[in-house]
Amino acid sequence: MKLLECKNVNKRFGRKEVLKNVNLTIPKGKIIGLLGPNGSGKTTLIKLINGLLEPNSGEILVKGEKVGTKSKKIISYLPERSYVDFNMKVKELIKYFSDFYDNFDSDKAYKLLDRLNINADDKLTTMSKGMKEKVGLIMVMSRKADLYILDEPIGGVDPATRDYILDTILTNFNEGASIIISTHLIADIEKILDEVIFIKEGTIYLTGDADKLRTKKGKSIDEIFREEFKC
């Protein structure tokens, strides 16, 4: 069965059309790059899939069912901006997640945090931006989900942190699950992508197998992106 399907999805904010007739299918067991410049509609699409926004028309199906309580159980979502209360301690955050999600693995979260030498009694407010991003990612990857959606997980962090984040994504996703990673920093992640989706001005511009695209164009995904989206 298809994991995720978007059928003729349209979204407007006032008179502005943010997504135009988006059709997409996401299969199981793939890592997919949702690639597009700023303002192309990546985050809006992600919010629709997570049920934080409603489409004006069209349909989004997760495992054949409309977005709702059920789909939220099987999608683990890392938003672009964190929604957690930074006054919490790490252990409170873990408690919060395990209360919320049946599929949250606290042991795994503690193990991953331990590796970063993060103390469970540390408050999030005391942490650097990069460290907060790592904690956020650990929370999301500690769920046994069918679909992980990571909105700009590597934006604004240093290269070492970027490596850590990519490593954590690769080592921790549930087998058989799919991952959608939205970003405009393509060179850093293209090595791990199975498939790419290029989105431009709210329209799906190009989709395909990353290695096949490299063969066809003789270029890296990053170079193809730079060409297609030349300003």
Partner 1 sequence: MKWTFDNDRPIYIQLVEQLKLFIISGILTPGQRLASVRELAMEAKVNPNTMQKALSELEDLKLIYTKRTSGKFVTEDDKLISKYKKALALEKANGYLQDMQKIGFNQTEAINFLKEDRK
- Contact set with partner 1 (CB under 8 A): 29-31, 166-167, 170-171, 175, 187, 190-194, 210-212, 214-215, 218-223
Which residue in this structure is represented by tokens 């300003």?
231
Comparison of 80 and 194: residue with beta carbon closer to partner 1: 194
What's the CA gap between 87 and 36, in Å, rounded? 34
Residues 6 or more apart whose CB falls under 8 angstroms from that of 143 comprise 76, 97, 101, 103, 104, 105
Residue 192: CB minimum distance to partner 1, A: 5
Residue 59: CB minimum distance to partner 1, A: 28
| Phi, psi (rounded to 5 degrees) for 147 | -140, 125
Comparison of 201 and 222: residue with beta carbon closer to partner 1: 222
Comparison of 84 and 192: residue with beta carbon closer to partner 1: 192
Comparison of 53 and 186: residue with beta carbon closer to partner 1: 186
Residue 165: CB minimum distance to partner 1, A: 12
Comparison of 70 and 216: residue with beta carbon closer to partner 1: 216
Residue 212: CB minimum distance to partner 1, A: 8
Residue 216: CB minimum distance to partner 1, A: 10
Using alpha carbons, select from 178, 96, 186 the residue that is nearest to residue 135.
96
Give the full edge-to-edge strand order of the sheet including 4-13. Answer: 16-26, 4-13, 57-62, 65-66
